[in-house]
Each structure stands twice: as C-alpha cells, then as structure tokens.
Amino acid sequence: MNAPVVIERPGPATPKTAGAPGGAHREVHARPEDFKQRSHESVNDPHLRSSFRGAMDFLIERRAVHFSDLVAFETLRKLGEQVRQHALSKLPELLDQLEAKLTELGVHVHWAETPEDANRIFLDIAQRHEAKLMVKGKSMVSEEIELNHVMADHGIECLETDMGEYILQLDGDRPSHIIMPAIHKTKQDVAEIFHEHIAGAPLTDDVNELIGIGRKALREKFGAAKIGVSGVNFMVAETGSIVLVENEGNGRLCTSVPDVHIAITGLEKVIDKLEHVVPLYALLPKSATGQAVTTYLNVITGPRREGERDGPREMHLVLLDNGRTQAYREERFRATLQCIRCGACMNHCPVYTRVGGLSYGTTYPGPIGSIISPHLVGLKSTRDLPTASSLCGACGEVCPVKIPIPEMLMKLREAGRHSITQSMTPPTQALVGQGEVRAISEAMAWRGWRVLYSHAFLYRLFAWFAPRLRWLTPAWQGGWTKSRTPLKPAPKSLRDMMADRDKRRR
C-alpha cells in the first residue's frame, strides 16, 4: 500500500549536509552488518532524530483516532489474526487453488525461489515483448529482489510511479519505511531533487506544486510503457483476485494502461475467501496511514476479457519464496507471515524512531523487518537486528494481526546463539545461520550466571561479598557506562536487611 506523500510534517527546514544518513545524492549500499555503525550515526544526527520523531508522532496520532475504542480494536484485530492464521494453516492448498483459479482466468503464474529466479522471469517477459520501459507501482517485494537495478543492468528502465519511491529513485536512495518510503526526505530535499532531475522543474518547496511536477513527469510514462508492474496486498484463492490498496492512482494506471501487467508478491499473501478482505482492509489503512479508507482499492481478477475496452492483454503473477518457507516450516516463526505490511510497528517503535529505516540495511526495517529479515537473508548478517529492541512491546500492541513480535525477537536471539543440538527445544530443521551468532564468551557468561543463580549457597555467598567489595566495582562497564554511572552493589543488600529485621524481632 502506498501513502499520500503530501504529509507535511514538523521538523527543521534546513537542508541536510552531504554524508549525513539519508543525505541527498548518494547511492546507498544497504548491509544489515553495518547496523551498529549506521545507527550510531543516526542517533547522533539531530535532523534525522527530530524529523523521524515528528513524522512518527504524526502517524501515531492519526492511527489512534480510529482505534480509540480499544475493545473494538481488539475484536477487529482478532478477526484479522484469524483470517491470516487460517490462510497460513492451509497455505499449500490455498496456493494450489489460487494457481488453478488464476490459470483458468488466463493469468500466468510463476514460482520464484530466489530473487534471481524472480528477476529472470521479469527479464524473460520483458525481452519477449521487447520492452525498454516498465512502470511500477509500489512494491516492497520488488525492492527485495532489487528489480530496478537488475532491469537497468539489462538496459530496461523500471520507473517508480509511487511519488515517494519516484523521489528516491531520482535520488539514488532507498526506502526508509515500507509505507512512507521517502519519509526521511524534507520538502526542501524533494525540491532540490526535482529541480536537478526533472527537465524544466522550477525550484519550489510548495508541496502541492511539487506533487504536480512529479505527477506530470510520470503521467507521460504510463502510455509509453509496455509493461506495468505492481505489488499485491492480498491474493484471494477463491476468486483468483489480486487486491491492491493505494492512494495515488498510479497502481491502477500501472495495472490497466500497459499491455502487460506483472504482479509480484511473497507467497504468504494469499487468503482464502473474498470476504476475508473485509476485516483486513478495515485494519490496513487505519493502521498504516490513519485513513479510514484509501483513495483506491483495486480488485483485479484476470486480464482484459473479450469485448472489454481496457486492461492489460497479458497478466502474470510472480510468487516469491526467498526464505518465507523457512518461517512457514517452523511453527514458532509462522506468525511472522501473518504480516499485512502496514508499518504500524515501525511508527510505534522507539528504536526505529531514533535510528530511521535506512540504518537497518534490509528491505524491511523496524520490528517487522527484524523478524522477517533473518529468514530472508540468514541469521548471521542480521545478527544485530533481533537484539536492537528493548522488548518494550509497543509493536505487538499495535499489530493489526497480533503478531507477537517481541516473542519472535527472543526466539531469533535464541536461534542465532544455539545450534540444533544446543537448543532447549530445537526447530525441525536448522534455520539459515542457526547458531552462527554464538560467541563463546557470551555463552560462558550465561552459564556462569546460571551456576551462580541456581545454587542458593553460592548466590548467598556472592550476595554477602558484593556489598562488602563494592569498592572494587570497575568504573568502565562497556556499553553501560557510555551514558550512565557504573553499576555498584548497594551498601547493604536486601537479604542483610531482612536478616537484621529477623534478629530484631527475635
């Protein structure tokens, strides 16, 4: 789902200095391995801090208006959870049903195990049609496979038509939010980007004028493109329909003007029945942008039929796995796939709010990204993502389909630190990167901790010595003392005080 980009948010209007995170005119190479470095830079960037805080507060308030009745919200989200859990409980059957239905409707269904497979499918279709230009509506899965870059390598322009994504594409930047991809850009940034990249665009920071400039530049491209690309919000097994939720109308143009429509999505997006769209749609825009409904809700059931005057003549659906079956296979991680990509968990996350989306170095940032990315790219490169949470629970509380995100984070921490044989309750198969985050020092520290805390005699000895030896406390205690004074045992322990009390009473 895309969002109205015309959100004027608070925050300083001064242009960023080059080199700052999210700064203009930079090709951003995303690597989750760099999370610590990038988050360090981000928290020390006052501009980024205040603009993200302002934007997230704005979104939180807009959402809260719709869910002020917490009991009603709970009822609705339980229904949303049911719809998604039900679909996942019979995922293989539903996918078979969906494929049969789509084939009957004349839609070509393609299965892609990896991003490379998916790109090859796109390339084949494009080459068959001798297409040099594709217009694309907002799709995070196309980001996941880096479609634009791969097509460009083969001389095919894949143009973003979602305004936020278009701004980023012009600037060579990446999305920092799954719903509001350009939320890290100010209107001044956008003014400069348009002025530099769109011929004849005047330098203005009037938001309506900017949107007008962008829309005009894009409008000419829809008719010129042979292929239109879109994402998918929900796929309905019962009817073979593809549901697309959007605000700008570019999604409708991409899926109806060009001769060929290629939709791409993750294979978990299937739902059983058309009526199941109702609760999910009641949850999605409210959770995402705080809108009761979006401007457009497209339900696409097959290509142009005989006698019809518009719509694509050829339609394809690319279903991507890319690690999703791992999350599906392991019951403890299956809820990850319930996600409907609303982004509410990001908006409410105190960590995301401070580091911004680009710090994560993954397609999906924020809490949901931290539980999905380890399945997509492995536990090792994403080692710092599941730990980048205070487990405050804000994400789980607002999730419209009740994904227990904090619990998933803990389970991923465990999976990274324990091989199958070391696990208390091992998964059915090793995850990609299972146990590869284990550091001997950390494992030994917890073992020592366990020995001390599970033997009352040892612990009482420790608790007797600690207050008496508190002068030995080191002044430097790693990350803790960065902004805090050292942790010191109390001058008198609670158990000493309780012992004194018992003596007095005797």
Question: Rule CB under 8 A: is residue 410 a binding residue for other proteins?
Answer: yes
Which residue bears the tokens 């299965």? 111
Question: Rule CB under 8 A: is residue 484 a binding residue for other proteins?
Answer: yes
CB 288 within 8 Å of CB 79:
no
Q: Choose between 68 and 425: whose C-beta lies nearer to other proteins.
A: 425
Distance of closest approach, residue 23 Cβ to other proteins, in angstroms: 19
Phi, psi (degrees; rounded to nearest 5) at 178: -75, -25
CA distance 369 to 365: 4
Which three-class secondary structure state does DSSP give residue 198?
Answer: coil
Give, as one character, the DSSP assignment of residue 436. T
Q: What residues have CB less than 8 Å from 104, skipping those under 6 apart?
A: 240
Distance of closest approach, residue 456 Cβ to other proteins, in angstroms: 4
Question: Rule CB under 8 A: is residue 29 a binding residue for other proteins?
Answer: no
Question: Rule CB under 8 A: is residue 355 a binding residue for other proteins?
Answer: yes
Question: Rule CB under 8 A: is residue 39 a binding residue for other proteins?
Answer: yes
Distance of closest approach, residue 117 Cβ to other proteins, in angstroms: 33
Question: Rule CB under 8 A: is residue 40 a binding residue for other proteins?
Answer: yes
Residue 256 CB: number of other CB atoms within 10 A?
16
Question: Rule CB under 8 A: is residue 487 a binding residue for other proteins?
Answer: yes
Q: Choose between 15 and 393: whose C-beta lies nearer to other proteins.
A: 393
CB 180 within 8 Å of CB 3:
yes
Residue 190 CB: number of other CB atoms within 10 A?
25
Question: Rule CB under 8 A: is residue 483 a binding residue for other proteins?
Answer: yes
CB 139 within 8 Å of CB 229:
yes
Give the one residue of 78, 128, 219, 447 binding other proteins; rule: CB under 8 A: 447
Point out which span in 91-99, 265-273, 368-376, 415-423 binds other proteins (CB under 8 A).
Answer: 415-423
Which three-class secondary structure state does DSSP give residue 389?
Answer: coil
Question: Rule CB under 8 A: is residue 245 a binding residue for other proteins?
Answer: no
Distance of closest approach, residue 86 Cβ to other proteins, in angstroms: 25
Give the one residue of 78, 446, 468, 490 binding other proteins; rule: CB under 8 A: 446
Distance of closest approach, residue 484 Cβ to other proteins, in angstroms: 3
Question: Rule CB under 8 A: is residue 450 a binding residue for other proteins?
Answer: yes
Distance of closest approach, residue 244 Cβ to other proteins, in angstroms: 34
Distance of closest approach, residue 247 Cβ to other proteins, in angstroms: 28
Distance of closest approach, residue 365 Cβ to other proteins, in angstroms: 14
Point out which span in 152-160, 242-250, 321-329, 485-493 binds other proteins (CB under 8 A).
Answer: 485-493
Question: Rule CB under 8 A: is residue 36 a binding residue for other proteins?
Answer: yes
CB 11 within 8 Å of CB 363:
no
Distance of CA 204 to the CA centre of its chain: 32
73 is written with which tokens?
């919200």
**SS (HEC) of 219-272:** HHHHHHCCEEEECCCEEECCCCEEEEEECCCHHHHHHHCCCEEEEEEEHHHEEC
Binding track over 370-389 against other proteins, x by CB under 8 A: --------------x--xxx
Distance of closest approach, residue 332 Cβ to other proteins, in angstroms: 12
Burial of 498 (0-12, 13-18, 19+ CB in 10 A): exposed
Question: Rule CB under 8 A: is residue 391 a binding residue for other proteins?
Answer: yes
Question: Rule CB under 8 A: is residue 65 a binding residue for other proteins?
Answer: no
Task: Using the Cα atoms of residue 209, residue 212, residue 213 and residue 214 in order, give the sign of their dihedral.
Answer: positive
315 pairs with which residues across the strands?
Answer: 107, 261
Binding track over 463-482 against other proteins, x by CB under 8 A: ---------------xxx-x
139 pairs with which residues across the strands?
Answer: none
Q: Choose between 199 and 456: whose C-beta lies nearer to other proteins.
A: 456
Cα–Cα–Cα angle for 200, 205, 209, rounded to 5 degrees = 60
**Strand pairing class (234-236; 241-246):** antiparallel
Question: Rule CB under 8 A: is residue 63 a binding residue for other proteins?
Answer: no
297 pairs with which residues across the strands?
Answer: 245
**Residues at the interface with other proteins (CB under 8 A):** 36, 39-40, 43-44, 49, 350-351, 354-355, 384, 387-394, 397, 410, 412-418, 424-425, 443, 446-447, 449-450, 452-456, 459-460, 478-480, 482-487, 494-495, 498
